[in-house]
Structure formats: structure tokens, C-alpha cells
């Protein structure tokens, strides 16, 4: 079957789209940055035979000298890696329980999320696949297709009991379905457990739900924690509650402000005027407008402006410590059964970061700035088997798509799983297991990032109509290069017309703070652009094995459906608003005409 033109399926329904193209092995034609198809098979025309039992046996043999470790994954939401020096010590490091966790653990100092927003970032974390491979790109709209293996699926193949407790946010419209199925709700993703209705980031949900999530873990651990091996994920909401700072509980905000810890704005705080002067992409201006309309305005000028931003930072610190308190409860619960804790590897990370006033932004989308993409990753092995030189932080670049492969390495005891064709789609990910054992082991040459901001019809109205919404970025040890593009209508081909770029040279202070955009003037740009072009094709949109093409097709069909519906709803809302405005204008004109007639009539009778 020949390739499908990206515009050809513009008016094709979901069923026809799947039948004609992606499931049949057709390729979406891409352009712009030189990106080829994302759906062509990776050399395995027939599905690989089922080797589940063999893989499980191999995993058991790899730990023949001792018990296989349990794995506790602790995931928080919207916690960035401490980014900038402050006169306030609390801003320079992790809160107390995380500091204690880091003692005797390996901490990754340059770990990055592969996508910004909640649902896309979680899909990359759980599957080890990029959002441009799964089509899971829209928070509030996308559903991760269960045909993509998660670490729950893959560790079950290794004989692990896998459980998820807490925020999920990967299945749109599934809360009622999940509540009906209870413990079986996440089985299709390889997990038992869940919390329903699952928190999706609404105002104050972390404050209300995190205690329940921690209690669920304690209950499960008391009843089933001794049945090993297990991999249990505790997924907390906070500090995500910061998203709703402006409209949240006055009591909580007052409590945060009473403990004033923020004394200065970050050194890379920018007003809209500065961003414009520094040639920042228009999508970032749109994010400022969207945050103000969605979550409440924060002024950039006037006497009240600094105080409001500092109040925002105060609450972010408070919520980090609230999340840290719950992490501490989880760790104490684990330690209450020492013989189990001694054989449990702990992996801690966050799905994405938070701008926290850097660049005058709140939230995490619409760019590839460090504050939104750089997150903690801590791995602690009390056995001392996986980790060496724990006092030496790892400075190698790593990505959230490397975490699921790391869990496979922990479960099997080696990197040998990379030779199994069943895991060929992950074999090229960074070997974090080697970095845990060898501080000098090579890391990534770069990390890749993608964020796609077609989120809801509301956001489509708010984002500047002419701002490119699709961002791909490359971060090397010395620089960052980002491309903001349009896509073809209902296709994924980046359009070079209207492309906007960022380039930050980390050899300069302005580059390290990501203030001075040198795109179009730096000698680094040609080589960085060439690396990005190559990486987008060979990694971000790398072809998937034949057995994952159906899931890929369904994921993209879901994306196109959501994007099309959002655009249609936005157009309808604009038309209705214009009609109301037109009607109001007509009514005002009629009223003026009536007033003139009354005036003329009154003049005749004087």
C-alpha cells in the first residue's frame, strides 16, 4: 500500500482512516524537518513469537544467587529539579524526606521529561516511547492505547506482581468506567489497583487525595507486601495543586503566605515586553494569556506584582513540602517491615516540572525550558547491588523514556533483555543501570522533548491563532535548540513556513538562564539543527515493531479526532460569540435610531 498524504484523510472517519492506512502498514508522509514515516515496520514483518515464559525464566535465573528485588516507584506531579540559586536556602535543594532518600542513593542531576503536560509526559514515562510514537499528546483528550506495553505489562512478563496506586491521568473519560471495575480497572495496562475517581489535576485534589493514596499503600503493604516480587507505583498529586493557586482555598494560600520563604523572583523572570524583545516564540506569550484566563491573572507591573509572584512561590514551596510529607509516610510504611524494605529498590521521579515564575510563566507547557522539563530522578538500592558511589551525583543526560527500561533492568538483573526482539522498541534507550553502577559510564549525547499544544477548544480560542503549537527540542550538554512549527491539516508533517526557533548557548550566563535566544545568529545552529533533524526521525518518531502498529494507529486516530472536535467546537463558540456581538451591535444601532426619532418628534411638538 502506498503512503497516505497527510491531508488525504482530512474528512475521513476514524474507522476508514484505520482501515486505509496505519493498521495496513501505510506511512504518514512527513516533511519540514526531514521526518519520515512513524509507522513503517522496524524490520520485523511478522509479530515476534511469544517468549513470555522464557523471559520470566531468564529473569528468575538472573537472580538465582538471591531474591529478586521488589520495586517501589514513587511518582509526584509537577516537581521540578531545583533550578536556580536563591537567597532563600529552601529554594536551593530538595525537601527533608527526599534529602534523606537521596542519602545512600544515586541522584541524577540532568534528568529530563520527554514531554511537558500531564498525560503526554506520563505516557512517555510508563511506556518508554515518545508521544510522537504513541499519539498520546493531549492532556484532557488523549487516551494511551492499551496496546502499548507499560512497565506494568513488561514486569508482569518477568513474573512481578504490579500495582498502581494514585493519579493515573492516561485514560480520558475512564473515571466512571474505572469506578465500576474497581481493582480491575487498570488491568489492560498491566496494573492492579487504582484510586477512583482518579485525580486529574483539579483544584485542591492533591490536598484531598494524597492522604487517601498513602493510606491505600499502607493497607496494601500490610496485606500483600510480603508476596514478592512486586513493583508498586505510588502516584501522588502534589505539588500539582500549584496550578490552581489563584482560585484555590484562601485558607491554604494564607497559611503559605504566613510562612514567607520566597524573598526574590528567579533571575530569569521575564515580563511579556522582555520576552518580545528577546524574540521568544509566540506560543509562550499565548501560555501567559492562557494561564491568566484559566487559573487567574498575575500582574507583570504595578506595586502588587512582585508580592503576588512571591505568594505563588510560597505556595509552591508549601506544596512541595506537603508532597514530601507524604513521601516520608510511604517510606516509613516500607521501613515498618525491615526484611521487605531491605530487598526493595526505590525509584523516585516527577512527571514534569513547573516554571515557578521563570520567564514570567506558570505551569509547564508550550516550551522546553529547563524549569518545566528537568526533574528529579533518585534510585536507592539498599542491597548495594545496582548502585555504586552513591555520594557522587550523576551528571549524565537522561530522559524519562529511559525509566521503563531501567525497571526492566532492575527486574531482570542485567541489560540482557535488550537482546530480546520482544523489547526491540526500547533496546536503544540509555542504559541507566550502567550509570547506577559506574559514575563514569556514558550517558546520552542529547535528550529529546516534544510538546503539542492542541489541548481543548478553550485553549484553541486562547492561544494566538497564528502561533505555531508544536514544539520539538534537543538538549545537549552545552546547548538547547527548539523548533516551533505548524502541522499540516490533520497530519503530522511539520511546516517550515512560519517556523520559530530558540537556541540557548550554555557557555554564557544568558544562555544558562535561557534568556538570550541566539537562534539565527549562533554558529552552533547548523550542527544543532542537523542533530535535531536526525534525532526526530531516528528516535522521536522511530518506526515501531509490527506488533505495535495497531496501537499506534489507534493512538493517532484518537489524537486527530480530539483535535478536530476541539477545532470545531472552538469555531462554533467563536461564531456564537460573533453572533451575540453582532446582535448587540444591531440592538444598539436600533436603540440609537429610536432615540433620534424620538428627538425629532419631540422637536416638532415644541
The grid coordinates of residue 237 equal 498529586
Burial annotation 225-240 (CB, 10 A radius, 16+ → b, else e): beebbbbbbbbbbbbb
- pLDDT classification of 43: cutoffs 50, 70, 90: very low
**Closest among 605, 109, 88, 89 to 395, alpha carbons compared:** 109
Which domains does the chain possess? Answer: 67-459 (3.40.720.10)
Q: Residue 300, CB half-sphere, CA atoms under 13 Å: how many?
A: 17
pLDDT, tens digit, 9 for 90 and up, residues 209-253? 999 999 999 999 999 999 889 999 999 999 999 988 776 656 666
pLDDT value of position 250: 65
Does the N-terminal peptide bond of residue 83 adopt cis geometry, omega within 30 degrees of 0?
no
**How far, in Å, CA of 343 to CA of 329, rounded?**
19
- The pLDDT of residue 574: 66
Tell me which of 201-215, 391-405, 439-453, 537-551 is least confident.
201-215
| Predicted local confidence at residue 519, as pLDDT | 98
Rounded mean pLDDT, 519-528 = 98
Q: Which of 125-129, 323-327, 574-578 has the lowest mean pLDDT?
A: 574-578
At residue 411, does pLDDT exceed 60?
yes
- Spatial strand order of the sheet with 230-235 comes to 192-193, 161-166, 230-235, 70-76, 344-350, 377-380, 106-112, 394-399
Q: How far apart are CA 162 and CA 275, in angstroms?
A: 46
If DSSP codes are grouped into helix, strand and coil, which group holds residue 107?
strand
User: What is the CA 230 to chain-centroid distance, rounded?
Assistant: 25
Arithmetic mean of pLDDT, 469-475: 95
Res. 568 pLDDT band, cuts 50 70 90: confident
- Please state the separation of Cα 319 from the chain's center in Å: 19
pLDDT for the residue numbered 31 = 37
DSSP 537: I
Alpha helices in 184-304 (DSSP H): 205-224, 250-258, 272-277, 282-295
Q: Report whether 476 contacts 470 (CB < 8 A).
A: no
The pLDDT value recorded for residue 462 is 53
pLDDT at 258: 63
User: Is residue 7 predicted with pLDDT exceeding 80?
Assistant: no
What is the b/e burial string over 557-569, where b = at least 16 CB atoms within 10 angstroms of the residue's CB? bbbbebbbebeee
Q: What is the pLDDT of residues 330-370, one digit of tens each?
A: 999 999 999 999 999 999 999 999 999 999 998 888 899 99
Whether the per-residue pLDDT at 269 is higher than 70: the answer is yes
- The pLDDT value given to residue 377: 98
pTM for the full predicted model: 0.84
Q: How far apart are CA 394 and CA 436, in angstroms?
A: 8
Residue (of 353, 375, 374) closest to 364 by Cα position: 353
Would the pLDDT of 150 be above 70? yes
Rg of the chain taking only CA atoms, in angstroms: 26
pLDDT tier for residue 507 given thresholds of 50, 70 and 90: very high
Q: Kindly indicate the confidence band of residue 130, based on its pLDDT and cuts at 50, 70 and 90.
A: very high
Lowest mean pLDDT among 192-196, 390-394, 423-427: 192-196
271, with CB counted inside 10 A (0-12, 13-18, 19+), is: middle
Q: How many CA atoms lie within 13 A of 195 on its CB side?
A: 27
pLDDT grade, residue 87 (50/70/90)? Answer: very low
If you average pLDDT over residues 93-109, what whole number do you get? 91
* Higher local confidence (pLDDT), 73 or 250: 73
Q: How confident is the model at residue 439 (pLDDT cuts 50, 70, 90)?
A: very high
Helix %, strand %, coil % for the chain, to 5? 45, 15, 40
- Where is pLDDT greater, at 598 or 430? 430
Q: What secondary structure letter does DSSP report for 22?
A: I
- pLDDT value of residue 602: 60
DSSP 69-82: PEEEEEEESS-PPP
| Residues 132/154, Cβ–Cβ less than 8 Å | no
**What percent of the chain has pLDDT above 70?**
75
Q: Among 97, 154, 86, 149, which residue's Cα sits nearest to residue 123?
A: 149
Mean pLDDT of the chain: 82
Amino acid at each position: 500500500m502506498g503512503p497516505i498524504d497527510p491531508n488525504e484523510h482530512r474528512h475521513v472517519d476514524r474507522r476508514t482512516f484505520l482501515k486505509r492506512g496505519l493498521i495496513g502498514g501505510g506511512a504518514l508522509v512527513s516533511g519540514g524537518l526531514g521526518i519520515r514515516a512513524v509507522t513503517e515496520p522496524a524490520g520485523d514483518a511478522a509479530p515476534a513469537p511469544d517468549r513470555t515464559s522464557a523471559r520470566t525464566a531468564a529473569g528468575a535465573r538472573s537472580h538465582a544467587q538471591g531474591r529478586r528485588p521488589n520495586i517501589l516507584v514513587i511518582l509526584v506531579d509537577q516537581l521540578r529539579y531545583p533550578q536556580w540559586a536563591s537567597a532563600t536556602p529552601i529554594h536551593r535543594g530538595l525537601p527533608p524526606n527526599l534529602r534523606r532518600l537521596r542519602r545512600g542513593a544515586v541522584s541524577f542531576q540532568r534528568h529530563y521529561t520527554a514531554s511537558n503536560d500531564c498525560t503526554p509526559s506520563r505516557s512517555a514515562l510508563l511506556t518508554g516511547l515518545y508521544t510522537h510514537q504513541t499519539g498520546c499528546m493531549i492532556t484532557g483528550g488523549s487516551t494511551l492505547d492499551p496496546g502499548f506495553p507499560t512497565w506494568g505489562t513488561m514486569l508482569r512478563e518477568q513474573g512481578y506482581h504490579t500495582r498502581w496506586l494514585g493519579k493515573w491521568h492516561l485514560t480520558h473519560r475512564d473515571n466512571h468506567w474505572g469506578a465500576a471495575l474497581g481493582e480491575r480497572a487498570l488491568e489492560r495496562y498491566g496494573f492492579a489497583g487504582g484510586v477512583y475517581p482518579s485525580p486529574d489535576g483539579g483544584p485542591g485534589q492533591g490536598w484531598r487525595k494524597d492522604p487517601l493514596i498513602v493510606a491505600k499503600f499502607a493497607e496494601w503493604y500490610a496485606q500483600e507486601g510480603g508476596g514478592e516480587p512486586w513493583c508498586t507505583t505510588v502516584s501522588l498529586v502534589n505539588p500539582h495543586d500549584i496550578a490552581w493557586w489563584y482560585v484555590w482555598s484562601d485558607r491554604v494560600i494564607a497559611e503559605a503566605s504566613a510562612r514567607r520563604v520566597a524573598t526574590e523572583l528567579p533571575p530569569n523572570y521575564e515580563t511579556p515586553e522582555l520576552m518580545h524583545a528577546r524574540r521568544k516564540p509566540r506560543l509562550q506569550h499565548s501560555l501567559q494569556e492562557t494561564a491568566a484566563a484559566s487559573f487567574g491573572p498575575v500582574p507583570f507591573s504595578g506595586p502588587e506584582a512582585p508580592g503576588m509572584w512571591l505568594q505563588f512561590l510560597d505556595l509552591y514551596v508549601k506544596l512541595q513540602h506537603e508532597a514530601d510529607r507524604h513521601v516520608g509516610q510511604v517510606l516509613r510504611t516500607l521501613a515498618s517491615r525491615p526484611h521487605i524494605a531491605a530487598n526493595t529498590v526505590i525509584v523516585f521521579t516527577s512527571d514534569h516540572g513547573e516554571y515557578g515564575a521563570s520567564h514570567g510563566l506558570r505551569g509547564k507547557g508550550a516550551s522546553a525550558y529547563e524549569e518545566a522539563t528537568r526533574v528529579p530522578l533518585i534510585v536507592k538500592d539498599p542491597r548495594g547491588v545496582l548502585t555504586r558511589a552513591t555520594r557522587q551525583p550523576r551528571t549524565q543526560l537522561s530522559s524519562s523514556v529511559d525509566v521503563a527500561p531501567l525497571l526492566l533492568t532492575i527486574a531482570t538483573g542485567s541489560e540482557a533483555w535488550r537482546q530480546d526482539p520482544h523489547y526491540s522498541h526500547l533496546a536503544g534507550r540509555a542504559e541507566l543501570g550502567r550509570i547506577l553502577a559506574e559514575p563514569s559510564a556514558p550517558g546520552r549525547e542529547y535528550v529529546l522533548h516534544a510538546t503539542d499544544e492542541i489541548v481543548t477548544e478553550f485553549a484553541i480560542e486562547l492561544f494566538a491563532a497564528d502561533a505555531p503549537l508544536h514544539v520539538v527540542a534537543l538538549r545537549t550538554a552545552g546547548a538547547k535548540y527548539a523548533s516551533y512549527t505548524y502541522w499540516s491539516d490533520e497530519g503530522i508533517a511539520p511546516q517550515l513556513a512560519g517556523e520559530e526557533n530558540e537556541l540557548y548557548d550554555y557557555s554564557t550566563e544568558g544562555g544558562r538562564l535561557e534568556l538570550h535566544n541566539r537562534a539565527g545568529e549562533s554558529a552552533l545552529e547548523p550542527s544543532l539543527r542537523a542533530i535535531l533533524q536526525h534525532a526526530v526521525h531516528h528516535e522521536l518518531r522511530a518506526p515501531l515493531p509490527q506488533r505495535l502498529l495497531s496501537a499506534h494507529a489507534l493512538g493517532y486516530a484518537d489524537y486527530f479526532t480530539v483535535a478536530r472536535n476541539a477545532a470545531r467546537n472552538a469555531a462554533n463558540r467563536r461564531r456564537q460569540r460573533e453572533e451575540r456581538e453582532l446582535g448587540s451591535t444591531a440592538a444598539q444601532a436600533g436603540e440609537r435610531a429610536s432615540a433620534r426619532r424620538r428627538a425629532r418628534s419631540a422637536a416638532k411638538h415644541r
